[in-house]
Structure 1
Amino acid sequence: MNYTLHQLHIFFKIAELKSITKTSEALHLTQPAVSIQLKNFQDQFPIPLTEVVGRQLYITDFGMEIAQAAEKILNEVRAINYKTLAFEGQLSGRLKISVVSTGKYVMPYFLSDFMKRNKGVDLIMDVTNKSRVVESIEMNEVDFALVSVLPKKLKVDKVELMENKLFFVASSGFEIKKGLSRKNLFEKFPLIYREQGSATRNSMEAFISKNEFSVRKKMELTSNEAVKQAVLSGLGFSIMPLIGIRNELKTKELRIVPIKGLPINTVWNLIWLKSKKQSPVALAYLDFLKSEKERIIEQRFAWGDDF
């Protein structure tokens, strides 16, 4: 057998994503390139690694065993690379962060300079919903998590990053009669929600419950971007984080509707388990945030003070 590390990497990613298309996107390769490498890898084994049923790609039992072996080999190679960099005096290792979906508008700005300064650090950032983020912290799968609502059942330490403001938002083309009460606004027009488990949805429902509004019609979508597009199209209103609609406010495609009691103000927190023994990379990142947080907020997010 004469397979390469490149082929092991591609096959492991295929086994993880179960899709040639998603693998090509994740590895920044063309689909034909991924397919050719999969075929060349498969040709070295007498037993099928994958099978296609209908249009869905599946990994065989034998293929899953090869994928597990590939992961171990790739981790060993990565460890060799990290040790080499460490001997050269460079910070090296992995930084794993789980981020609630709206946090994708925030977290990259607090990572960019750190990653540029430390070429030996690999970043793994999972963008998902609040429930999965909390689970990843609880299961000790990540170094840090970015949340706007602290988990109640976990003992965590935190660094406050910046304010998170949620406003009532409408398409600029959506006509609202002057003098319409808050109650009528919420009960007359369709309201667009995030999915269950979303911190934005929880804040939205708490506001509605506190004011005893009876929502007449609602839609549920599974990402902040999907909600934004629905509002832009005129399907309804929503309560949305300011951080995710900056460009649309600038181009006047969206507008903030003044509502008494809004915005809802929360805080983006980077959290980690109190009991976690942090890696040198994680500790270096905390030191970076301590010294650079205020500069990043001033340079990247000062515009939010205008709302």
Structure 2
Amino acid sequence: MPYSLSRLLPRLSFRQLQVFRSVYQHLSYSRAAEQLGLTQPAVSSQIRQLEQALGQPVFEYVGKQLYITAAGERLEGVTRTIFADLERLQMELAEMEGQVRGELRLAAVSTAQYVVPYLLKGFLQQYPHIDVRLEIVNRARATQRLTENRDDLVIMGMPPESGALHSIPFLDNLLVPVVRTDTPLLNLDSVEPQTFLDANLLIREPGSGTRKALEQLCHQKRLTLKPHMELGSNAAIKHGVLAGLGVAVLPRLSIQAELKLGQLACLDIEGFPLRRSWCTVHPAAKHPTPVMRAFLEYVQTAMCGLEEQVYGEPLT
């Protein structure tokens, strides 16, 4: 039987909860041991003591695969809250001493990976005692992480329309029509949007931000969107264009090097570039940590010079 709270607390330790979180994240005792600098028997011992204190197993093996139990899922939610509160306390105590230190947890959609480093460089120069953890995810996963409150901030374009979310735009994301430099389209005096879309269009999967922006354009202009091939990342699409598989609409930042090398070109087509904004997004009810507030304030102050820094020129 589980212990009462007064008997449970002396049998629990933060170390046990830390080990539990690591095993939960990796679903592996050996990988948790590697992450924490422990032996696998030490990890097993910590989990065994934790399960004895709770009176229920938190993990179970089915065959050779480790799974989380229902009790373990409940414990993960409580543990996440405990550690988040401790991190906030640490930040607030540092802030009382006039310092900003702690961890900033960011998630960014794949298209934003080209701009986030520019933000982090200046931010970390200003706040050298902050550690940044950055996850690059697709749009669907970014939206899910927002719902689960997994991160301090998510950086994405076209955030979900929801009163439960707060978003701040900070930089234009230019989506441009991209072709290989030997395409016959470059020899035309002008290219109609539908002509471009019919030239073997390579496109992201349904739900991606880039695809949603293109779908909106087609709906507004009454254009027909007939993808030639769906690919799972902008990098794959870029290399598809380079290989001669077709044309694409891509973030200009993702093809800067290829444009300079003359491997790719942007067509001058009515309706392009599509202008969307990268935004910082977080749940509206979220109470910002000092580190989170520092990053949001930095983004606001850096907006003016960010365009030229990222694109190499002011955008018109």
1:154 aligns with 2:163: yes
TM-score (norm 1): 0.72
Q: Secondary structure of 1:200's partner?
A: helix
* Alignment: residue pair count: 295
Aligned with 2:196 (options 157, 180, 185): 185
Change (3 A) 1:305 1:285: closer
In the other structure, the counterpart of 1:114 is 123
CA contact (8 A) 2:105 2:132 kept: yes
Sequence identity of aligned pairs in percent?
A: 25
Counterpart selection for 2:40 from 38, 50, 58: 38
- Relative to 1, partners in 2 of residues 1:220 and 1:121: Cα closer, same or farther, differing over 3 Å? same
| Residue 286 (structure 1) aligns with | 296
Partner of 2:238: 228
Write out per-residue CA displacement over residues 71-90 of structure 1, whole angstroms, 9 at most, x where no aligned residue: 78976885786577456542
CA distance in 1, matches of 2:102, 2:141: 24
1:105 aligns with 2:114: yes
Question: Equivalents in 1 of 2:85, 2:162: separation in Å?
Answer: 35
* Contact kept in structure 2, 1:194 and 1:201, CA below 8 Å: yes
Residue-by-residue CA offset, 1:14-38 (whole Å, 9 max, x unaligned): 53144799x69xxxxxx98999843
Residue 207 of structure 1 aligns to a residue whose secondary structure is: helix
2:108–2:134 CA contact under 8 A, matched in 1: yes
How far apart are residue 9 of structure 1 and its match? 6.1
**Maintained 8 Å contact 1:11/1:38:** no
* Unaligned segments of structure 1, at least 5 residues: 25-30
Ranges in structure 2 where 5+ consecutive residues have no aligned partner: 1-13, 52-56
CA RMSD of aligned residues (A): 4.2
CA 1:232–1:57 in 2, change beyond 3 Å: closer, same or farther?
farther
Q: 1:184 corresponds to which letter in structure 2?
A: T
What whole-Å deviation, never above 9, does each CA across 1:121-149 have from its counterpart, x for those lacking one?
Answer: 33333332334434444554443332322
Q: Within 1, Cα distance between the matches of 2:263 and 2:135?
A: 29
1:206 aligns with 2:208: no
Q: Identify the range of structure 1 (159-168 vs 126-135) with the bigger mean alpha-carbon deviation.
A: 126-135
Tell whether the 8 Å contact from 1:162 to 1:267 is kept in structure 2 after alignment: yes
TM-score in terms of structure 2 length: 0.71
Against the structure 1 CA distance between its residues 148 and 279, is the aligned structure 2 distance closer, same or farther, given a 3 Å change threshold? same
Name the CA shift for 1:150/1:306 in 2 (closer, same or farther; >3 Å).
Answer: closer
Match of 1:144? 153
1:34–1:231 CA distance, 2 compared to 1 (3 A): farther
Question: 2:180·2:263 contact (CA, 8 Å) conserved in 1?
Answer: yes
Q: Distance in 2 between matches of 1:67 and 1:156?
A: 24
